[in-house]
């Protein structure tokens, strides 16, 4: 009986230590800002992307599915962003904005604005490319505080392999994968 209690005590202490170490590792990741990819070829990035999943946010609360983002260059080097989605009634709603490149050495940090007041864009949000498939099949977008996050794909669905890669990126970047909600797309 004493031996059994000793083994149980060792097992419990070992479990507590493993949980504590993994918790500390997660806290270290959370205290560090997400890291963007080293380089983005914007000519390859431009085009149509389907929202595969997102961390729910207030500015997309009317979107219930079929969410897409289309990027195209402006003459001044900025990027026109057109986001669209289906609302509860099935109608397509869209909004246009502009993105500017913040990290010109990598093109992986952008600021995006969808609000224009008297011709001036006062509010800019962080758009950090923290994961990108080498063939530009998917992109993982985040922000410095991990409040926002999107998974984008060139197709409406991702393979299991791509999901595994994305989940590793999210984990390595300190994101909680369970906060991401998949986006539905009609065929």
Q: Which residue has the tokens 């949000």?
A: 125
Q: Is 161 part of a structural domain of the chain?
A: yes
Write down the pLDDT at residue 32: 87
Q: How far apart, in whole angstroms, are the C-alpha atoms of residue 44 and residue 49?
A: 12
- The reply to whether 26 falls in a domain is no
What pLDDT is stored for residue 31 in this prediction?
66
What was the pLDDT predicted at 8?
37
Q: How confident is the prediction along the chain (187 residues), in pLDDT tens digits per residue? A: 555 444 434 444 444 444 455 444 444 445 689 999 999 999 999 999 999 999 999 989 999 999 999 999 999 999 999 999 999 999 999 999 999 999 999 999 999 999 889 888 889 999 999 999 999 999 999 999 999 999 999 999 999 999 999 999 999 999 999 999 999 999 7
Counted domains in the chain: 1
Domain at 58, CATH number? 2.40.128.20
Could you give the percent of the chain with pLDDT greater than 90? 77
- Yes or no: say if 153 and 49 are a contact pair by the CB < 8 Å rule: yes
Report residue 137 as tokens.
């099949």
**Is the distance from CB of 78 to CB of 98 less than 8 angstroms?**
yes
**Domain annotation covers residue 92:** yes
pLDDT in tens, 79-128: 999 999 999 999 999 999 999 999 999 999 999 999 889 888 889 999 99
Residue-level pLDDT at 119 = 84
Q: Is residue 27 in some structural domain?
A: no
The CA-to-CA distance between both ends of the chain, in Å, stands at: 63
Ramachandran angles phi, psi of 64, nearest 5°? -115, -5
Nearest to 54 by CA among 168, 156, 149: 149
70 part of a folded domain = yes
**Domain residue limits at 164:** 42-182
CB 133, CB 52: distance < 8 Å: no
pTM: 0.82
């Amino acid at each position: 009986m004493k031996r059994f209690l000793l083994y149980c005590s060792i097992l419990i202490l070992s479990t507590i230590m493993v949980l504590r170490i993994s918790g500390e590792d997660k806290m270290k990741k959370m205290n560090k800002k997400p890291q963007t990819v080293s380089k983005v070829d914007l000519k390859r990035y431009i085009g149509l992307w389907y929202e595969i999943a997102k961390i729910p946010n207030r500015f997309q609360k009317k979107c219930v599915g079929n969410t897409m983002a289309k990027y195209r260059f402006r003459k001044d080097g900025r990027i026109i962003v057109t986001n669209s989605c289906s609302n509860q009634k099935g109608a397509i709603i869209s909004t246009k904005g502009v993105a500017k490149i913040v990290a010109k050495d990598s093109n992986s940090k952008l600021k995006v604005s969808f609000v224009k007041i008297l011709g001036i864009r006062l509010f800019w949000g962080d758009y950090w490319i923290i994961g990108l498939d080498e063939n530009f099949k998917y992109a993982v977008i985040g922000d410095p505080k991990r409040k926002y996050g999107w998974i984008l794909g060139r197709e409406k669905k991702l393979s299991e392999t791509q999901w595994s890669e994305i989940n590793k990126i999210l984990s390595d970047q300190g994101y909680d994968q369970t906060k991401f909600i998949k986006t539905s797309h009609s065929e």
